[in-house]
Amino acid sequence: MTGAPDTGSALAPDLLRAIDFVVFDFDGVFTDNLVYVFEDGREAVRCTRADGLGLARLREVGIGALVLSTETNPVVPARCRKLKVDCVAGCEDKAARLKEIVAARGLDLRRVAFVGNDINDSGCLAIVGLPIVVADAHPDVVRLARYRTRAPGGQGAVREVCDLFYAARR
């Protein structure tokens, strides 16, 4: 994709209704891409609670969701458990793993959305039917997106994406 991606509510409802599965990166999408490092080496991240309600709305309208992350920090699966969303963490080749997941679920990549923010998301953004980036995404991936959120990562971007799908399916 070339040019600037749509922002706001510019995505056609038909395109949103064609998506069956939404895959999210974690760091920089669920978080503001910052990490708190404690003296003992433990790390913590900041997320918004609004994402939980957004993900519940996705489930309500029959759209599956998954977090696919290269991060190995235990906070990723812990947060996903709380949000009741499937999680694959510590993934080195995200695009290859995404293809496996989609095939195992009997889905079509054209009916998958991927939400990312940085260059390690490029492969996934390039192969899905609806590539989405957060407002503060790295410039190298913005050009791959069909949609760019108004909200930055960790500050409502996940909820914004979920609400778009929810509104299109109601």
pLDDT tens-digit series, residues 148-168: 999 999 999 999 999 999 999
Strand order in the sheet with 130-133: 6-7, 147-148, 130-133, 112-116, 21-24, 64-68, 86-88
At 132, the pLDDT band (50, 70, 90 cuts) reads: very high
pLDDT single digits (tens) 98-126: 999 999 999 999 999 999 999 999 999 99
The whole model's pTM is what? 0.94
Dist CA 142 CA 147 (whole Å): 9
Q: Which CATH number fits domain 6-169: 3.40.50.1000, 3.90.550.10, 3.30.565.10, 3.65.10.10?
A: 3.40.50.1000
Cα angle, residue 22 at apex, residues 18 and 23 outer, rounded to 5°: 145
pLDDT at 1 over 50: no
Higher-pLDDT residue of 100 and 10 is 100
CA count, 13 A, side-chain hemisphere, 14: 0
